[in-house]
Amino acid sequence: MTLDIAAELLGLLADTTTEERPNAQLEALTLAVAADLPVLLWGEPGIGKTAALHQLAESLDLPLTTVIASVHEPTDFSGLPVIGADPAVHGVPMAPPDWAVRLAEAGRGLLFLDELSTAPPAVQAALLRLVLERRVGALTLPPGVRIVAAANPRGSAADGWELSAPLANRFVHLRWTYEHDVVVRGLGGTWPRTTLPRLDPGRLTEAVAHGRRAVCELLTARPKLVHQLPKSETQRGGAWPSPRTWDMAVRMIAFATAAGTSREVLSMLVRGVVGDGPGLELLALLDRMELPDPEELLADPGAAALPERGDLRQVVLEGVVEAVRRNADRARWEAAWMILVRALDGGAPDLVVVPAGNLAELRRDDWPLPAGLERLAGAMHVARRAA
């Protein structure tokens, strides 16, 4: 029959494969799901948010339950009142919907709240307990259930609403975009595959301490960042700092540290919970925390490990020179020159120009010229000419 042939053709079109491929968006999403934090994917219609959730559920072997928030009533999330035999004695229980019962019976799953930005304010208010406390009426969803939502920006949503501030403040907000080569390769039959982050069991305690220290140091220095409710309605519907989201930031730093994830992924997650401004301040503090101690470098200059990023490398070199300035002797001065020479092996020569000039000013008359000065002099000459 014609439909049988059509079904065969549809089957061939659906026959696709997956491959492991680095993808910062998918890694950030998977890490947030592993950290048991609700995630909200923001993106234009048709760019693959729903497809990414289906693929994530398959990769994590989690049953997927999709709930279109905009077509439900508030009672679908707060529970339907059911009158029992004696309401005066037993009260009126709030019965959960069938999808919540199925999740509770399964004990695990991925709850996908789609079209969140088209849900009216009353429905958004009913979602508060579900997203934060995992409560649906009288039912509590088991710990094995993870929550991910998707939303279109108001301008591209069908009869869209701004997300309420209380609901927005409960999510990790991730901006979802598409990569051209990923789409082309996927349409050719091969899509990227999501894998669970590999957490290092030996780094768990260190990871928690790292996250707590970073957030506490920032908020001690910048107390106004503890709670900043945005003034505009649009900004309130995104990521902004509050005690709740700073706690989420601690969790995200801990998971990212234990997983050894990239700075790009960590940046997505941190900015996705406290917003761009506070998030960038926290990332800058994390960068400073991870810089090597100048005194340790001076103690063993031959084994000095310098950051790969140019801006961080220059900060370290300037810190080494300042350490020598505070406590100058010939051995420390020569060790600093050895570190500058090592910096030439893995970085642009212009990074050593200022530190080398400052270090040269610290030389005393009875100190001989350091070894490797010829290499530094040549590099500084080239850098000055290039400038």
- pLDDT, tens only, 79-116: 777 776 666 666 677 788 889 999 999 999 999 999 88
- Smallest CA-to-CA distance from 270 within 287, 283, 260 is with 283
- What 3-state class would DSSP assign to 139? strand
Is the pLDDT at 168 greater than 50? The verdict is yes
- What 3-state class would DSSP assign to 194? coil
Question: Is residue 387 very low, low, confident or very high in pLDDT (cuts 50, 70, 90)?
Answer: very low
Residues contacting residue 66 through CB under 8 Å, at least 6 positions apart: 112, 114
Is the pLDDT at 382 greater than 50? The verdict is no
User: Which carries the bigger pLDDT value, residue 92 or residue 125?
Assistant: 125
Please give the Cα distance from 173 to 176 (Å, whole number). 9
Question: Is residue 385 very low, low, confident or very high in pLDDT (cuts 50, 70, 90)?
Answer: very low
The residue-averaged pLDDT of 224-234 equals: 92
Is the pLDDT at 22 greater than 90? The verdict is no
Burial of 166 (0-12, 13-18, 19+ CB in 10 A): middle
Please give the Cα distance from 355 to 380 (Å, whole number). 11
Compute CA distances 35 → 145, 173, 256, whole Å: 12, 14, 10
The residue-averaged pLDDT of 280-297 equals: 88
Question: Is residue 154 very low, low, confident or very high in pLDDT (cuts 50, 70, 90)?
Answer: low
Residue 175: its pLDDT value, please?
93
Q: What tokens were used for 199?
A: 């957490």
Please give the Cα distance from 67 to 154 (Å, whole number). 20
Report the mean per-residue pLDDT for the chain.
Answer: 86
String of DSSP letters for 325-367: HHS--HHHHHHHHHHHHHHHHSS-GGGGHHHHHHHHTT--TTS
The residue-averaged pLDDT of 159-178 equals: 88
What CATH number labels 24-82+90-178? 3.40.50.300
Is the pLDDT at 347 greater than 70? The verdict is no
Is the pLDDT at 358 greater than 70? The verdict is yes
